[in-house]
Amino acid sequence: MTIEIRNRLGLADVKSDFRHIAGRKIENIHNELLELEAKGEIKVIHITDEHKPIEAETLFGWKKKIPTTKLWHHKSCGQCGNIPGYPVSLLWFMNKFGTEYVDERNQTSCTAWNYHGSATSNPVGLAAVAVRNWHRSYELGLFPLIHCATSFGDYKEMRNLLIENKELRDEVRRIMHKIGRELVIPEEIVHYSEWVHVMRFEIAKLRKYDLSNIITTVHPACHCYKMIPEDCIYDKDIYAGKRTAVSTGVALALGAQVADYSTWYDCCGFGFRHILTEREASRSFVMDRKIRPMVREANSDVCITQDTGCTTTLDKNQWIGKAMGYTEQVPVMADVMFAALVCGADVYKIVQLQWHTTDWRPLCEKIGIDWKKSEEEYNAYLEKLRAGEKPENLYEYA
Amino acid sequence: MEYDENGVSIVSNDFKKEIFEEAKKDFRYEEYVRGCLNCGVCTGGCPPHRFFDFSPRMVLQNCKSNDPALVWGMMDEYIWACFQCFTCAMICPFLNNPGGVIAILREISVRRGFESAKKVLKPYSRVLLKLTAYGNQLSPDMIQPDFFPDWGPHIGYASQDLPLKRKAIPMPTLQVTNLAWDVAPEAMKELYTIFEEAGVFKIIEVVDPSLYEIIQDIVDDVRSE
């Protein structure tokens, strides 16, 4: 099946059913995936009824099944080292919904942050790491849920390269054999924000605060919707199908205002290498191209993100802006953190906002959340842990 | 490789041609370099173009010119300005992928150990060590005030009582300080095999021999456990 497209950004002459009739053709990779499976070349991690999937539409109107349970959490190395409230909020929701999942140690980084920053890898290395982690979820009978946007983009790309290139498949299969694994590819590459998106109406039922006076601005992650864009969720009811729907969808479902701003399509300035070793570029980009427009044009109360790098970059680089007269500030958090916050999750123990740099307290106060009480309870909890008490975890881990 | 008095590499036309041919042999090249109308929409949307002397339109045009000297001219700091956001790829009416071309050129640069690559990646070695040796890129104990003074005084929060605060995160896998999560040794060992077989360790040996030695010591230790 092929779909013809004209303009992938959807800025001009786009139809609201997001099907375009001229231009180049993009193959739907899923047909080839199933053909390879039928030939016995690969194994596919299928999404079955057991996963209780919910369907969403992608850029060209293709259907994408999002599994909602029996999930294997594939964590983000940046997120878990820096923004722990991001995965914790996700698991908090999953516990609320009785979602079956496994969060475990037996996984590595996708290594794509490093690749995009330093190029010290190659397609064979990236694809082998991807298949290694996919296979781990496969042997547990679970479906991989990808936390990081760069992992999501990389895994979509590696899936396509593996499907399109026999030589790459053969090489990765040879490496998998050496580590006792097989060449498996998931039926869909699924980002956590897509799970949040399809669950947004269930999430909204848990809402504890009125958000009608809260103005959000959404920063979508480039590696979610610019890498293999045909695999990204669009919804004709959100931005008329002209922009990716994830993150905006849950903010709207929760009753918040979602304001537009002129640099919506810009990246965050992370740059992979730049955020670590050329930070003046990241800093300038954050303030000039994202935070200032969000505040000046939209009077934003909170910036909603969907990725590790974006959250870090946009949050951490506001403080230094003051030295150059940038007084605009806006708290930054992932969609799932914002959702957890307004559904009554503890500000410190679950949403873990204490790790964030830009002040989020005014947002809490505007929503009506008593963050001071949460802080007191958290400090008391730390003292209990210091005295040797066991931590209160979201799941048991052997 | 020879250098002139300004530190600019002096290479023969044959060598430039060899580099360009290496790029074109990459199995992704034809997918990334298609027809180019020179419309410039890629550069108009390119985030680093606003702050650097960098243009994805030029990347495509240089490749389409078939002139090895023009491609060689990008093999210094130029290719390292790219943010790898792939805005260019998404908005190109012809589905070119300048960001992907940059990735191919960067791979060549590190694989061959060009001085420009070594220089750009020198401050990156700590991250490279963490990722290659332990399978994680960023760890909580890397967020230190002396490393990130521009992130403000609150960064000090993370460095005080860090083990206790990590223990208070209600996910057991995250209750560590030296890794983003507590990577299982069996996962690390599998990663080492992948890196060996895919030539990743070899790349690091070329671009940073000292770092490679440190990584190999850690790899040996983990494998012997």
Query: B115: part of which helix (H) or strand (E)?
Result: helix B115-121
* Same-domain status, B163 and B211: yes
* Bridge partners (DSSP) listed for residue A215: A257
Q: Which residues of B touch A313 (CB under 8 A)?
A: none
Asked whether the beta carbons of residue B190 and residue A132 sit closer than 8 angstroms, the reply is: yes
Please indicate, yes or no, whether residues B130 and B216 belong to a single structural domain of this protein: yes
In this structure, which amino acid lies at residue B90? M
The answer to whether residues B143 and B207 belong to one domain is yes
Closest-CA residue of chain B to A276: B124
* Structure-block tokens of residue A68: 């909602």
To the nearest 10°, report the CA torsion of A197, A199, A201, A202.
-160
Which amino acid makes up residue A395? Y
Judgement on whether residues B182 and B132 belong to the same structural domain of the protein? yes
Output the pLDDT for position B137: 83
Contacts of B128 in chain A (CB under 8 A): 114, 118, 120
Q: State whether residue A207 is helix, strand or coil.
A: coil
Closest by Cα among A123, A218, A220, A118 to A175: A123
Band (pLDDT 50/70/90 cuts) for residue B204 is: very high
Residue of chain A whose Cα is closest to the Cα of B208: A120
A179 vs B194: CB contact, 8 Å cut-off? yes
Amino acid (one-letter) located at B32: Y
Per domain, the residue ranges of chain A are 2-192, 200-379
Number of domains in chain B: 2
Query: What count of other Cβ atoms lies within 10 Å of the Cβ of residue A365?
Result: 12
Q: Please tell me the distance from the alpha carbon of residue B46 to that of residue A265, in angstroms, as a whole number.
A: 10
Length of chain A, please? 398
The answer to whether residue B5 scores a pLDDT higher than 70 is no
Q: What is the pLDDT of residue A82?
A: 85
Q: What are B50-67's pLDDT values in tens digits? A: 999 999 999 999 999 999
- Counted across chains A and B, CB pairs separated by less than 8 A come out at 266
Residue A323: partners with Cβ closer than 8 Å, 6 or more residues away: none
Q: Which of A14, A29, A74, A118 best tests the B interface by mutation, with the highest count of B CBs <10 A?
A: A118
Q: Would the CB atoms of B194 and A161 count as touching at under 8 Å?
A: no
User: In this structure, what are the phi and psi dihedrals at residue A43, rounded to the nearest 5 degrees?
Assistant: -110, 150
User: What is the CATH number for B84?
Assistant: 1.10.1060.10
Residues B143 and B220 in one domain: yes
Residue A126 exposed, middle or buried by CB count within 10 Å (0-12, 13-18, 19+): buried
**Which residue from B minimizes the CA distance to A318?**
B151
Q: What's the Cα-to-Cα distance from B225 to each of A384, B216, B219, rounded to whole Å?
A: 34, 14, 10
State residue A1's pLDDT score: 37
Among A92, A101, A121, A268, the residue to mutate for chain B (most B Cβ within 10 A): A121
Range of the domain at B154: 120-224
Nearest to A80 by CA among B156, B145, B134: B134
Fold matches, A2-192 and A200-379: no
Question: How far is it, in rounded angstroms, from Cα A81 to Cα A174?
Answer: 33
Task: Using a pLDDT cut of 90, give the percent of chain B over it.
Answer: 77
Q: Residue A266, exposed/middle/buried by CB under 10 A (0-12, 13-18, 19+)?
A: buried
In this structure, are B211 and B194 located in the same domain?
yes
pLDDT band at B4 (very low <50, low <70, confident <90, very high): low
Residue A2 one-letter amino acid: T
User: What per-residue confidence (pLDDT) applies to A19?
Assistant: 42
Answer yes or no: do A129 and B175 touch at CB < 8 A: no
Cβ–Cβ under 8 Å, residues A108 and B187 = yes
- Looking at residue A117, its pLDDT comes to 93
Q: Hey, what amino acid is at A158? A: M
CATH class of segment(s) A200-379? alpha beta
Q: Considering just the CA atoms, what is the radius of gyration of chain A in Å?
A: 21
Candidates B88, B103, B85, B97; CA nearest to B32 is: B97
Residues B13 and B67 occupy one common structural domain: yes
ipTM above 0.85, yes or no: yes
Instruction: Give the one of B48, B95, B173 whose C-beta lies nearest to A397's C-beta.
Output: B173
The arithmetic mean of pLDDT across residues B87-91, rounded, is 94
Residues B107, B126 share a domain? no
CATH number for domain A2-192, candidates 3.40.50.280, 3.40.50.1010, 1.10.1740.10, 1.20.1050.140: 1.20.1050.140
- Say yes or no to pLDDT of B212 above 60: yes
Share of chain B above pLDDT 70, in %: 96
On the question of pLDDT at B10 being above 90, the answer is: no
Regarding whether B47 and B28 lie in a shared domain, the answer is yes
Contact: B128, A125; criterion CB under 8 Å: no
Maximum separation of any 2 CA atoms in chain A, in Å: 67
pLDDT per position in chain A (398 positions), as tens?
343 333 333 332 333 444 443 344 577 889 999 999 999 999 999 999 999 999 999 988 889 999 999 999 999 998 888 899 999 999 999 999 999 999 999 999 999 999 999 999 999 999 999 999 999 999 999 999 999 999 999 999 999 999 999 999 999 999 999 999 999 999 999 999 999 999 999 999 999 999 999 999 999 999 999 999 989 999 888 888 888 999 999 999 999 999 989 999 999 999 988 888 888 889 999 999 999 999 999 999 999 999 989 999 999 999 999 888 999 999 999 999 999 999 999 999 999 999 999 999 999 999 999 999 999 999 999 999 999 999 999 999 87
Residue in chain B lying closest to A356 (CA): B154
Question: A28: exposed, middle or buried (C-beta count within 10 Å: 0-12, 13-18, 19+)?
Answer: middle
Domain boundary residue, one of B59, B77, B112: B112
**Virtual torsion, Cα A372, A374, B158, A108, nearest 10 deg:** -150
- Cβ A24–B95 below 8 Å, yes or no? yes
